[in-house]
Amino acid sequence: MKPRTLFEKVWDRHVIEQEEGKPATLYIDLHLVHEVTSPQAFAGLRLHGRSVRRPDLTTATMDHNVPTIHRSQPITDRTSVAQMDALVKNCQEFGIQLYDLDSPEQGIVHVIGPELGLTLPGKTIVCGDSHTSTHGAFGALAFGIGTSEVEHVLATQCLQQQKPKTMEVRIEGMLSPGVTAKDIILAVIAKIGTAGATGTVIEYTGKAIRQLSMEERMTICNMSIEAGARAGMIAPDETTFSYLRGRPKAPSEELFSEAIADWKQLVTDDGAIYDQQVILNASDIAPQVTWGTSPGMGTEVTNQVPFPEHYPTESEQKSVRRALDYMGLTPGTPITDIQVDRVFIGSCTNSRLEDLRAAAQVVKNRQVSPHVKAMVVPGSQQVKRAAEKEGLHHIFLAAGFEWRDSGCSMCLAMNDDSLGDKERCASTSNRNFEGRQGRGGRTHLVSPMMAAAAAIKGHFVDVRQWEPTIEEGLG
Ligand SMILES: CC(C)[C@H](C(=O)O)[C@@H](O)C(=O)O
Ligand code: SF4
């Protein structure tokens, strides 16, 4: 048999029907649902008198609109209330499991899927949400779909899909201390651009990727979409299996070794060919900070804000000028001279336990700069409880951070958590578009450690030079 890539194997396992030159019909193993992109889909089902084909393969949570503070009080935003109420009603009517606002398992859809063990190697996973790519970290084929497709999947458990091309992003070597998975993916996007992987499914390979934990792998796959890719995948291995073992929705202990035997097949065969390939060395990657209004407009913390005139084409110069204007930045300014007003540690990119641990390590025994307002928003209520069990909340609260309930929060400011006009934020999220975190707000994408350090110093700093607490005599 012809050697195949990981993507091709998972794809082939799910094609129900494919006519030459036409989109394939794929079977969907897991459909995740949230309150923003589902109301119209359910309304469509009702209109046509249809039911949900496989409620048992469908799971819902509320995350985008939910308040992250004072949860027992009424929510004032009418759209949020309408969307959340609709989800409750729809899940009841159609028999779908919902992790609602009061559920101890509530959280960002891309955080709770893996956490519950719903996300498994080899599955096809869809959700009306672009960052569904996160789940590819387990060797699943996971991608975002539009609301009409949500309706289609609800009704049929299938999806029409054009076969994407493949791209290998190989990260060789080893990361230096202070450099994280977030820096890898920001560096990849800075290199290939936000359209660099358009029409492809990326597979991340190489020694640096194999050494990452599952949470770090999720950070990488999460942002595949910001490089234009349809999805990102990482072949499952022992790290994957041990993460999944014992999770409530993962195969039970009796079936687990059988599952592993199957999952082990999900690797790219020797001799399989990717349509495109990009290679980076992890040891060349430094902590990244974005300076512009797209995730590709980023650089190393040791660099300066770029000069528009250094870009080769007129259109690039124009977009850089516009970005710098919006961001209120002067070319040539060292990144470390940029002062921040706000710090947001959260989002489906960087709100899991290891992210909070990394940030807390930087924050420990220090104080948030007096002119900075900083918050930590755990990705799920389970992450929140786990962090509290380790006492991480004490570290953040003592430093002056706010410690919130879980949700998307200031990643996209659909709830009350938002930036004011011209407020500048160091954010661990994945998008820095104009107005993303609030009208006129200015977003710099960074890793959790970099965000934590910016909160303490009031400006960006190179975390590689962060002194251990003990040596500063503060501990
Ligand atoms: C609201 C939703 C449709 C959107 C997405 O698909 O990505 C959101 O999650 C985002 O991150 O912008
Ligand atoms: S945390 Fe942000 S990126 Fe992730 S699903 Fe929510 S809004 Fe989208």
Instruction: Decide whether any atom of ligand 1 lies within 6 Å of the 36 Cβ.
Output: yes
**Distance of CA 411 from the midpoint of ligand 2 (Å):** 6
Question: What are the residue ranges spanned by the domains of the chain?
Answer: 6-277, 288-472
**Sequence-ordered alpha helix ranges (H) in 247-313:** 253-263
Instruction: Decide whether any atom of ligand 1 lies within 6 Å of the 129 Cβ.
Output: yes
In eight-state DSSP terms, residue 380 is B
Q: What does the pLDDT read at residue 468? A: 76
What residues does 161 pair with on adjacent strands? 24
Mean pLDDT of the chain: 97
End-to-end, the C-alpha distance of the chain in Å comes to 61
Rounded to whole angstroms, the Cα distance separating 357 from 351 reads 10
The whole-number average pLDDT for the span 317-345 is 98
Taking Cα atoms as reference points, which of 462, 451, 465 lies closest to residue 368? 451
pTM as predicted: 0.97
229-247 tens-digit pLDDT: 999 999 999 999 999 999 9
Strands 158-161, 342-345: pairing is unpaired
Rounded to whole angstroms, the Cα distance separating 227 from 217 reads 16
CA distances from 252 to 96, 262, 264, 418, 468 (A): 22, 15, 17, 42, 42
Query: Is the pLDDT assigned to residue 471 strictly greater than 50?
Result: no
Are 6-277 and 288-472 in the same CATH fold?
Answer: yes
Rounded to whole angstroms, the Cα distance separating 151 from 52 reads 9
The whole-number average pLDDT for the span 65-83 is 93
CB 320 within 8 A of CB 350: no
What residues does 91 pair with on adjacent strands? none
Question: In the chain, pLDDT over 90 holds for what percent of residues?
Answer: 97
Strand ranges of the sheet holding 165-172, from the earlier edge strand across to the other edge: 231-233, 200-205, 165-172, 276-281
**Distance of CA 366 from the midpoint of ligand 1 (Å):** 34
Tell the residue nearest (CA) to atom 4 of ligand 2: 348
**Distance of CA 362 from the midpoint of ligand 2 (Å):** 25
The whole-number average pLDDT for the span 302-328 is 98
**Distance of CA 130 from the midpoint of ligand 1 (Å):** 6
Rounded to whole angstroms, the Cα distance separating 281 from 80 reads 44
Which phi and psi angles does 201 have, rounded to 5°? -105, 125
Which phi and psi angles does 105 have, rounded to 5°? -105, 5
Strands 30-33, 442-445: pairing is unpaired
Residue 414 CA: which ligand 1 atom is closest?
A: 1
The CATH number of domain 6-277 is 3.40.30.10:
no
Residue 408 CA: which ligand 1 atom is closest?
A: 9
CATH code for the structural domain at 288-472: 3.30.499.10
Rounded to whole angstroms, the Cα distance separating 202 from 191 reads 15
- CA 267 to chain CA centroid, nearest Å: 23
Q: What does the pLDDT read at residue 470? A: 33
Query: Is the pLDDT assigned to residue 475 strictly greater than 70?
Result: no
127 appears as a binding residue in the annotation = no
